[in-house]
Amino acid sequence: MGAFLCRAGQHLRAAAIENPRLEARLLLAEAMGVEQGALLGTPRRPVPPEPAQRFAAMLRRRLAHEPMAFILGRQGFWTLDLEVSPDTLIPRADSEAVVEAALAALPTPAERVLDLGTGTGCLLLAVLSEWPGAFGVGVDLSPTAAALAARNAAANGLAGRAAFLAGDWAGALAGRFGLVLSNPPYILRQAVPGLMPEVARHEPHRALDGGEDGLDAYRRIVAALPDLLTSQGCAVLELGQGQRDAVSGLAVAAGLAIQGCQADLNGIERALILAHP
């Protein structure tokens, strides 16, 4: 098995994959149906033919820069294990700043939470996992993404407290929410093709493309927020790097107040907190 992993790691390194040895172990563990730790310390362990075939197929996909999360079919986020697919963005650790900001902004948990552009449901489900009395609604333009988010709610024991629907942002919604979350598309349209191949080739462009200036989705969301938020509620929007001032300007023009902005672990201003004045 040691030589098996060594050859795979060499191929991954030649394809400019970061952490090639680690990724080779992750793929082999998945192919063999064991935990990664079970492979450590057993370099002479044989790889049976069927797992070897599964591993070879997964390795080809990774060498083509398909994201590891899509190959494995899952991704960890917050304390959750989430199903992922090419219909949704892969949850990223940067987005956990949105969850942290939301939990800190509201000393009393909101009863109703809305997630616009829910994707896998990661933001909504993370908040619901921390607020046992809350109910959430997730909206996504893609029906297949909304269905995937519903499966993630069920898999994490939250199906009874979350509903997911396909819609165009807040267009089909009525009522107000104590917390509104969103990680909207915010990449400049002309920059999308130049993103790393794992993103540009495999993740859904509709969830990346923020228009010519990266702000199209923010304009729609911010315009809807005054009618979506309760008087004491807040919204937390994920930002792209350097977008704080532009999105804050849109919010102020819509009559909202800026309550703060939380940075992610890399120090990038990532989660903008908005509320009624």
Question: What would the pLDDT profile of 216-272 be if each residue is shown by its tens digit?
Answer: 999 999 999 999 999 999 999 999 999 999 999 999 999 999 999 999 999 999 999
Question: Are 173 and 197 contacting, i.e. CB atoms less than 8 angstroms apart?
Answer: no
Residue 148 has pLDDT above 90, yes or no: yes
Within 8 A by CB and 6+ apart from 136, the residues are: 112, 113, 114, 115, 124, 125, 127, 128, 161, 162, 163
Within 8 A by CB and 6+ apart from 223, the residues are: 254
What 3 state SS string does 76-130 have? EECCEEEECCCCCCCCCHHHHHHHHHHHHHCCCCCCEEEEECCCCCHHHHHHHHH
Model pLDDT, residue 41: 61
Pick from 16-25, 59-68, 86-95, 138-147: least confident = 16-25
Model confidence band, residue 8 (pLDDT cutoffs 50, 70, 90): confident
Question: What would the pLDDT profile of 15-42 be if each residue is shown by its tens digit?
Answer: 988 889 888 888 988 888 887 766 666 6
Residue 1 has pLDDT above 90, yes or no: no
Across 135-161, average pLDDT:
97
Which run of H or of E encompasses 8? helix 2-14
Query: Of all residues in the chain, what percent carry a pLDDT higher than 70?
Result: 97
Residue 56, beta-bridge partner list? none
Q: Which residue intervals of 111-210 are DSSP H helices?
A: 122-130, 143-155, 197-200
As its CATH architecture, domain 75-275 has 3-Layer(aba) Sandwich (3.40)
Using the 8-state DSSP alphabet, how is residue 240 labeled? -
Model pLDDT, residue 44: 67
Model pLDDT, residue 47: 81
Handedness of CA 137, 142, 143, 146 (dihedral sign): negative
Tell me the Ramachandran region of residue 136: left when phi exceeds 0, alpha when psi lies from -120 to 50, beta otherwise.
beta
> What number of other Cβ atoms are within 10 A of residue 15's Cβ?
14
Largest CA distance in the chain: 66
Across 126-151, average pLDDT:
97
pTM: 0.92
Q: Residue 10 and residue 157: Cα distance in Å, rounded?
A: 41
Q: Residue 164 and residue 153: Cα distance in Å, rounded?
A: 9
Model pLDDT, residue 34: 81
Q: Residue 199 and residue 48: Cα distance in Å, rounded?
A: 33
Question: What would the pLDDT profile of 153-199 be if each residue is shown by its tens digit?
Answer: 999 999 999 999 999 999 878 899 999 999 999 999 999 999 999 99
